[in-house]
Amino acid sequence: MAADDAAFGGNHNNLIQNTFAARGVGSFVPLAVSMTGPGIIETGEQGTWNASVSNGNSPYNYTWHRRKPRSGPYQQVGTGSSYSGSGNGDQDFELKVVVTDSDTRSGTSMRRVIVGGIDHP
């Protein structure tokens, strides 16, 4: 890794670490999952959220889940690197994306979406 730092500015550290981990030495670099999209939408307005991932090996499997804030289990609502949905009434919701790579490592990103511009309890 020191040689990579010196020669390439550390650009290959994750690749090196994952290569060793695949051979039983050390651990894999965790998947880094991020989500972009609106945090507030109007009632009935459609929003689109996108997931991106790094530190893994393609192909990636994306599953999107949604629920009312702090209530019960998430329900799966989509697959793929993006999800589009709308606010149902004035109910805020929590959105979660789970990404799994070809080595079956996974990572998660979550966000709360406020519907109608007011933070509902």
Residue-level pLDDT, tens digit, the chain, 121 residues: 455 444 445 556 777 776 777 777 777 778 999 999 999 999 889 999 999 999 888 999 999 999 998 888 999 999 999 999 998 777 899 999 999 999 888 999 999 999 986 555 5
Query: Could you give the count of Cα atoms lying within 13 Å of 76 in the half-sphere of its Cβ?
Result: 6
Q: What are phi and psi of 14, to 5 degrees?
A: -65, -40
Which residue in this structure is represented by tokens 């919701």?
Answer: 93
27 by DSSP, 3-state: which?
coil
- Give me the pLDDT at residue 8, please: 44
pLDDT of residue 26: 78
Report d(CA 119, CA 112) in Å as an integer.
Answer: 10
Q: What is the pLDDT of residue 92?
A: 92
Token digits of residue 67: 């629920």
Per-residue pLDDT at 33: 97
What pLDDT does 1 receive? 46
pTM of the predicted model, to two decimals?
Answer: 0.76
